[in-house]
Amino acid sequence: MTNMVSANTLASVAALIGDVARANILSALLGGRALTAGELAQAAGVSPQTASGHLARLVDGGLVSADKQGRHRYFRLASNEIADLLEQLSAVSAAGPRRYRPTGPKDEAMRVSRTCYDHMAGTIAVALTDALVEGGHVEIEGRSGIVTEKGSAYLQGFGIPLDRAGESRRVFCRACMDWSERRYHLGGWLGAAVLLRCEELHWVRPVKDSRALRLTRAGQAGFSEVFGLREEVLRIVT
């Protein structure tokens, strides 16, 4: 009976994600910002009334949470685990049979650098992860990651407050499959801290109405100097 309940729960979650409009809503929330029902209706290409119905189902299903501020309700993904699930599904979908394979983001900027909920994904994020592993700063086994003693000093020198990691309940460091690169980028608390620091340094900037992150000239120089990323990786898309 336990397996039956588990199978029913899995099928229920899959059904929630399987609707095109709801999938578009979840994809929009994968950018990490809380959005209103109106903004999500536009992202899903449906009427506000239809979006409200979809959002109610997503909230009831535990995939989305809602917060009321003043006259507006803001929606976000219910947890980092939901964000990870959506990114993994994107990777599986991209690797599927050609007739089912999605075209992926038409905007090249999304492939170069984008948000994956609260951390960075795309070509630059994967190259950054590779550089940290090759430099002996981070070790990854399976989907779990640790920061080495050498890496601790290195990352704190970059401005990552590792002493504050214990304040969070989330996984410290994990490998997240990048669906466009088909390789791992950093997720978890560490991945979020790296993105925050890169934004503080103005190395990347969010693109309006998109999950894309625009690489700046400062970022082009910084990623090269600090992490040794190659010039061909650090393409500024205009």
Tell me what the pLDDT averaged over the chain comes to.
86
Q: Measure the CA–CA gap between 28 and 21, rounded to whole angstroms.
A: 11
Task: Give the C-alpha separation, 59 to 55, whole Å.
Answer: 6
pLDDT band at 1 (very low <50, low <70, confident <90, very high): very low
pLDDT score for 229: 96
Helix (H, G, I), strand (E, B) or coil at 163: helix
Q: Which CATH number fits domain 2-78: 1.10.3720.10, 1.10.10.10, 2.40.30.200, 3.40.50.300?
A: 1.10.10.10
Model confidence at 100, in pLDDT bands (50, 70, 90)? Answer: very low
pLDDT at 88 over 90: no
Residue 94 binned pLDDT confidence (cut-offs 50, 70, 90): low
Mean pLDDT of 129-133: 97
- State yes or no: pLDDT of 210 exceeds 90: no
pLDDT tens digit string along 146-158? 999 999 999 999 9
Predicted pLDDT of residue 101: 47
131, amino acid identity: A
Q: How far is residue 205's CA from residue 216's CA, in Å, rounded to a whole number?
A: 7
For residue range 139-182, what is the model confidence (pLDDT) as tens digits?
A: 998 888 999 999 999 999 999 999 988 887 778 998 888 878 88
Would you state the pLDDT for residue 97? 56
Task: Please list the residue range(s) of the chain that carry CATH number 1.10.10.10.
Answer: 2-78
Residue 104 in this model has a pLDDT that exceeds 60: no
Cβ atoms of 187 and 84 within 8 Å: the answer is yes
Query: Phi/psi of residue 131, each to 5°?
Result: -65, -40
Q: What is the pLDDT of residues 198-207, one digit of tens each?
A: 999 999 999 8
Q: Identify the burial level of 78 via C-beta atoms within 10 angstroms of its C-beta, where 0-12 means exposed, 13-18 middle and 19 or more buried.
A: middle
The residue to which tokens 């950054």 are assigned: 128
Q: How far is 130 from 139, CA to CA, in rounded Å?
A: 10
What are the φ/ψ torsions at residue 212 (nearest 5 degrees)? -65, 150
Higher pLDDT, 129 or 3: 129
Share of the chain above pLDDT 90, in %: 49
CB 135 within 8 A of CB 154: yes
3-state SS, residue 189 = helix
Q: Is 22 helix (H, G, I), strand (E, B) or coil?
A: helix
3-class secondary-structure state, position 153: helix
Average pLDDT over residues 74-100: 74
Handedness of CA 51, 57, 61, 66 (dihedral sign): positive
| More confident site: 208 or 52 | 52
Q: How confident is the model over 56-68, as pLDDT tens digits? A: 999 999 999 998 8
